[in-house]
Amino acid sequence: MSVKFLRPFGLLALVAALLFAGVPGSFRASAASGPDNGEDGYVTDEVNVKLLRASDLQAVSAQYHLQLVEQFGTRPIYRMRVTDGIDSKVKAAALAGDVARVEYAEANWTAGSPEGSGVIWSVGDGWDQGVIWSVGGQTQYQRQWALDRIKLREAHRATKGAGTIVAVLDTGVDRHHPALAGRLLRGHDFVDDDDDPSEVLPQPCAQSTDRAKCGPYGHGTHVAGIVALAAPEAKIMPLRVLDPQGVGNTWVIAEAVRYALDPDGDPSTDDGADVINLSLATVHPSRLLHDTIGDACDNGFASPYAKVVVIAASGNRGTADTMFPAGENFSGELSVGASKSDDTLWERSERDDIVRNDVMAPGVGITSSVPGNGTGVWAGTSMASPLVAGLAALVRAASPSMTADLVKDRIRDTSDRPAPEQFVKRRVNAAAAVTPLVNMAVNPIDDTRSFVRQQYLDFLNRAPDKSGDDFWSNEIDQCGGVKACVDFRRVNTSGAFFLSIEFRDTGYFVYRLHKAAFGDISAARPVPVRYEEFMPDTQRIGEGVVVNSQGWEQKLAANRDAFVLDFVTRTSATGGRNFATQFPAGTGAAAVVDRLFQNAGVAPLAAERQALIDELTPNPDSPALRASVLRKVAEHPALVRQELNRAFVLMQYFGYLRRNPDDAPEANRDFAGYNFWLGKLQENNGDFHRAEMVRAFIESIEYRQRFRE
């Protein structure tokens, strides 16, 4: 596994790692050897260099004893390793003096979550500086003081952010957390350079019962949960840029910002973020980050991409020092301070001139998701920033043509001014920012492009490719506004996503895999998988897959192979079911095969059964052999035919309503609704038009209230 950054020596630039006075000194020492003095916090043998001409790379490398690590896209910007033992700051200074060939050179500065590793763990309902984790807390998450203070519920009557994407650059996310189910897009891990942006436990935490050793673990999941709370219909693009100790560097952060603008590398695809949240900070200004973030959000920078809104935490040192990237002061960037429940500025929030002129938002005692399906309470500007990022998504959803600089102005100009006046004069007001922009008589899902885009997001877990978006939108628009035609083609369009090759090779495959591994959940719950299990599993298989794009079949095959192998070996899973428990070590080959077919409800031919037994017999405990046998049962033609209608009905709940058939508001009806629609579909031989199933779901009040209450 390639690691995209090296750990720095000396002090870590976790600018607020030592903010929490209650953290034992021994733990502080494990995160940093002293307070950040603005001089340390960099990778000592790496420099980031921008040349005036790419043709000078070889000569510059030879003269200054540098080895190329990687290039920043196609630009003449390079991450270079210093090979002669000279400290990278000294080397950068020498390079910067070569004005004939070098535009800039700098050490690869480190950055981290402003909350650093000042974390307090316990069981309970209170909160303190840092974070307290507890079991449950969903009610507290959905009804906390911050929502009322910034009038989020009123804003949600106008829009919930549907169709927008918020990139979260952080420590990663717990992709199995129920609060994030259905809200996460495919992301990327820029630390380990792979497609799995999951949070990673720091080794001291994994090897100890002392939760204080877990550092900033959970920070990214907490931040993502706040975005989901503020903009519940926005999609979140998780980008891991901070390691298990909460440390990243300017190169990986810049890479992630660039990725957020165009994840698939095709400018014609509308898959870039509308908002980027940066709940991270450093004391070190960086030309690389300055230029990259400027490209993303500032009108003064030429860029092939539409400008996005960048929201950055101002920092938690409680000083007048400017932190970065919040201190860049770009036209489309907001620096966010943290306010308390009495509308005063949090004591530890930064007090520099940039944030003074921007905004603050609730950042103290904020409840959100934490790894392991629980909730936790955290304090910091990192919590205030995603509330504003979610608000920016609401504004962009309410007024899609509004440019990034105008979104920034809108949020600032509609903010409340608490009395007495605070250092940061404005505290955001979501309702004031959003409601006047919206025609309340029109639901955004009625717009053709919005409707088509939502089908991609809900069923394929990605933004639409241009050709697909154009095709399905044109199919509907050709009706010329004739209602009967529009209604029919909207149903046809939506139903086609379940029947598409892409979904059947991802989501339907996951459904059948769970069916073969576990059978139905129970007689009262006649389905094999729950929503909170299905979504992250489907996402993993679909990472980077767009049908008919170059290499998609190979990518899908590799994803499925890796997923099935993980599926048979993982020891924990949402819902508490895992293959290793169902088929413990020592289970014989015949017993495994027979149980799989029994779960699937398929009677195999004798030769089919024997072939799988023979395959597994050499080592029935082998993960690779178990994965191969499970996959073959899941792909059995009889199972594919048998479960098609059942899966189609279940996907109505998963895709349109984002819930299980027996979740509220049908919690007391068991599977009555599911059984009704399954009966209708079977009566009509799978014809979803005649069954009126898809139409009923997309015209339901519950579905339409996802986009506006």
How many other CB atoms sit within 10 Å of the CB of residue 621? Answer: 15
pLDDT for the residue numbered 28 = 21
Give the rounded percent of residues in the chain with a pLDDT score beyond 70: 89
The top-level CATH class assigned to 131-437 is alpha beta
What does the block give as tokens for 207?
């090897």
Nearest to 105 by CA among 247, 286, 248: 286
Options 40, 45, 170, 458, the catalytic residue: 170
Amino acid at 330: F
Nearest to 601 by CA among 544, 529, 528, 653: 528
Q: Would you say how long the chain is, in residues?
A: 709
Return d(Cα 625, Cα 628) in angstroms, integer: 5
Return d(Cα 529, Cα 520) in angstroms, integer: 8
Report residue 60 CA to chain centroid gap. Answer: 39
Cα 61-65-66 angle, rounded to 5 deg? 55
How many other CB atoms sit within 10 Å of the CB of residue 692? Answer: 16
Confidence of residue 115 (pLDDT cuts 50, 70, 90): low
Q: Where are the domains of the chain?
A: 25-112, 131-437, 502-642
For 586-645, the pLDDT digits (tens) are 999 999 999 999 999 999 999 999 999 999 999 999 999 999 999 999 999 999 999 999
Q: What residues form DSSP beta bridges with 427?
A: 360, 416
**Residue 663 clears pLDDT 70, i.e. is over it:** yes
**Residue 574 clears pLDDT 80, i.e. is over it:** no
What does the block give as tokens for 154?
């009123």
For 405-438, the pLDDT digits (tens) are 999 999 999 999 999 999 999 999 999 999 999 9
Highest mean pLDDT of the ranges 350-359, 441-450, 533-542, 644-653: 644-653
Report residue 621 CA to chain centroid gap. Answer: 35
Torsion from C-alpha of 433, 436, 439, 445, nearest 10 degrees: 10
Q: What residues form DSSP beta bridges with 133?
A: 376
C-beta separation of 491 from 485 below 8 A: no
pLDDT for the residue numbered 126 = 29
Cite the DSSP H helix spans in 414-458: 430-434, 448-455
Options 156, 188, 219, 514, the catalytic residue: 219
Mean pLDDT across the chain, nearest whole number?
Answer: 88
C-beta separation of 238 from 273 below 8 A: no
Classify domain 25-112 by CATH number: 3.30.70.80
pLDDT for the residue numbered 8 = 34
C-beta separation of 565 from 624 below 8 A: yes
First to last CA, the chain: 46
> Is 196 in the active site?
no
C-beta separation of 156 from 215 below 8 A: no
Return d(Cα 626, Cα 628) in angstroms, integer: 5
pLDDT for the residue numbered 137 = 58
Amino acid at 222: H
pLDDT for the residue numbered 520 = 97
For 16-72, the pLDDT digits (tens) are 222 222 222 222 222 222 233 334 589 999 999 999 999 999 999 999 999 999 999
Nearest to 95 by CA among 65, 127, 131, 126: 65
Distances (CA, A) of 71 to 7, 17, 59, 62, 78: 20, 31, 16, 17, 5
For 298-338, the pLDDT digits (tens) are 999 988 888 999 999 999 999 999 999 999 999 999 999 99
Confidence of residue 575 (pLDDT cuts 50, 70, 90): low
pTM comes to 0.88
The CB-side HSE value for 426 (13 A sphere, CA atoms) comes to 23
Out of 10-24, 100-114, 376-390, least confident range: 10-24
Options 335, 339, 382, 415, the catalytic residue: 382
> Is 117 in the active site?
no
Kindly tell me the sign of the dihedral angle through the C-alpha atoms of 371, 375, 376, 379: positive
How many other CB atoms sit within 10 Å of the CB of residue 423? Answer: 15
> Is 689 in the active site?
no
Amino acid at 490: R
How many other CB atoms sit within 10 Å of the CB of residue 221? Answer: 28
How many other CB atoms sit within 10 Å of the CB of residue 66? Answer: 23
Confidence of residue 213 (pLDDT cuts 50, 70, 90): low
25-112 and 131-437 agree in CATH topology: no
Out of 167-181, 240-254, 365-379, 621-635, least confident range: 365-379
More confident of the two residues 604 and 284:
604
Return d(Cα 140, Cα 690) in angstroms, integer: 43
Return d(Cα 676, Cα 681) in angstroms, integer: 9
